[in-house]
A and B are shown apart, each in its own frame.
Chain A
Amino acid sequence: MTRATTAGTPSAGWTPDQPIVRLVDVHKAFGTFEVLKGISFDVRKGEVICIIGPSGSGKSTLIRCVNALVPVTAGTIQVEGITVTDPRLDKLALRRKVGMVFQQYNLFPHKTALQNVMMAPLHVLGQDRREVEARARALLAKVRLAGKEGAYPGELSGGQQQRVAIARSLAMRPDVMLFDEVTAALDPETVKEVLVTIRELAEEGMTCMLVTHEMNFARDVADHIYFTDRGVIVEHGPPATFFASAQDARTRRFLSQVL
């Protein structure tokens, strides 16, 4: 693991030239079953990384550890100097910096698209309603959903719901976005509209961590690709070298199946 780092100084004093996300020897076990067996890597500000690998290799668990939805068993995770693995973690401070988009969208079904985007800034951050509404409308326009502000999630297609979910996450002005197989539940035609939105975000310099099965998209958008299998990173590298000349047998077998 060439990018492995030693435990950095906890909290405070983070500067943008340091890795924005830093994982050091992360272990996670559910009962006796070890899902993650020592994962270490860094993500720099503005970088887009994709995590790929077979089902059950711990990709989703890994990404969910980054915003503390899943507590780790051992190891250290830091996000902008916040130690996620600290028992006294300020979850709100962390989740203001880290946005997350889920496979099943998970919108709030009793609220309109606009309200979904506005809720967290109002309820969690207590920001001014008018300012939040203006920002929410701008975000919906940005994900090409202008005109759908008043629609309820149940009235939107899967691709539209997922774009609302992206806008909802962006409304909290995160520095890092986590995408957990966000196109896995979508029709092939609607996958593209979501990927276009993510690509635009990446091009604007948003730091993105994606778990994905869209290999062409990963090749296109990622700065670095990690291949996980059975809880470890088997192989990683920039897409050009990763896809062209994977060394590990498991990686090559996986790529031959999905490409």
Chain B
Amino acid sequence: MIEAVQAWFQRLYETTGFNFTVFYDPYDWDRYVAGLRMTLLLALSTILASLVIGAVGALVQSGPSRLLRGLVNGFVVVFRNTPPLVQIFFFYFGLGTLLPDVRTADGLRAPILNNVQWAILSLSLFAGAFNVEIFRSGIEAVPKTTIEAAEALGYTRFKAYRHVVLPLALRVCLPALNNNLINLLKTTTLAYAIAVPETLYAVKQIWSESQNVLEMMLVLLVTYAFLVGVLVWIMHRWERALRIPGYGR
């Protein structure tokens, strides 16, 4: 099976000149798969972290402490109003050089956070800032009277949040959340700029050695279209599962 695919792409190259090295050269294939793995690691960890940041931020924003509300607002403004690539550079080249090094087990000096960790941190904060606003819009869409009904039944503020406000808010904000998570998945390519070996980085290495820019570009586009397609499919299934019969129509 694998040999047949490899042979087919080899013949394609010999007959037409289209050189998809990744599909017949095991070395290029391994680099591509490693890049894909790194992209998945970046995407999954930043999606999860940004959701947590968004949920906590939105809760704090509707909470009683003015100081905390101000801090969250400041965070949202800073990370929403600046370009994500600049944020990554700021963290990696700006903050990264200020932090002290640590000694590894074999006595070498190493930075506290490596480039992958900086990328995850900065992309999570970037997408998290948007998620704060998205979750807040959902929470604000829950009618005050519905919360009042919960209070009249003896619910505390926290219990009303957990059982009434959040389940309703989530449904309201899912479409906006989908958009942001899709953007986040695509924005992981920016980690390229601090040499994180994700898919774009790996594919770039392949095309500069094999001189097949067009072919690798196609592979790259199809790869991201597929990854986003999978994410969209998952999110739509989630939306469908949460749909309430007769609600909001």
Contact = CB atoms under 8 A, between A and B. Distances in A.
Contact of A67 (B152, B245, B248): B152
Contact of B245 (A123, A154, A165): A154
B165 to A, nearest CB: 10
Nearest to A97: B154
Given A69-B148, A123-B163, A124-B159, A109 B153 contact: no
Contact of A109 (B150, B152, B154, B168): B168
Nearest to B144: A106
Contacts of A91: 151, 154
Contact of B151 (A69, A109, A165): A69
Most buried by A among B145, B148, B154, B168: B154
A123 B159 contact: yes
B107 interface: no
Given A106-B143, A107-B149, A108-B164, 6 more contacts: A102-B145, A106-B148, A110-B167, A154-B244, A156-B246, A169-B153
A211 interface: no
A155 B154 contact: no
> What's the interface size class on A, roughly?
20 to 34
A215 interface: no
A124 B152 CA distance: 11
Given A120-B155, A124-B159, A109 B247 contact: yes
Contacts of A169: 152-153
Interface in B52-104: none
Interface string A82-107: 00000000011001100110101011
Interface of A: 67, 69, 91-92, 95-96, 99-100, 102, 104, 106-110, 119-120, 123-125, 152-156, 165, 168-169, 172
Contacts of B245: 152, 154-155
B186 interface: no
Nearest to B249: A154
B246 A153 contact: yes
A106 B159 contact: no
B117 interface: no
Given A106-B146, A106-B149, A154-B245, A120 B154 contact: yes
B171 interface: yes
B149 A102 contact: yes
Contacts of B154: 91-92, 95-96, 120, 124-125, 172
Contacts of B248: 109, 154
24 contacts: A91-B151, A92-B156, A95-B151, A95-B154, A102-B149, A106-B143, A106-B148, A108-B149, A109-B168, A109-B247, A109-B248, A110-B167, A120-B153, A124-B153, A124-B154, A152-B245, A152-B247, A153-B246, A154-B244, A154-B245, A165-B149, A169-B152, A172-B153, A172-B154
A106 B145 CA distance: 6
Contacts of A106: 143, 145-146, 148-149
B152 to A, nearest CB: 4
Nearest to B245: A152
A158 B249 CA distance: 15
Most buried by B among A69, A96, A108, A168: A108
A152 to B, nearest CB: 5
Contacts of B249: 154
A31 to B, nearest CB: 19
Contacts of A110: 167-168, 171, 244, 247
Interface string B185-225: 00000000000000000000000000000000000000000
Contacts of A104: 145
Nearest to B149: A106
A85 B244 CA distance: 39
Interface string B221-249: 00000000000000000000000111111
B142 to A, nearest CB: 10
A69 B152 contact: yes
A106 B149 CA distance: 6
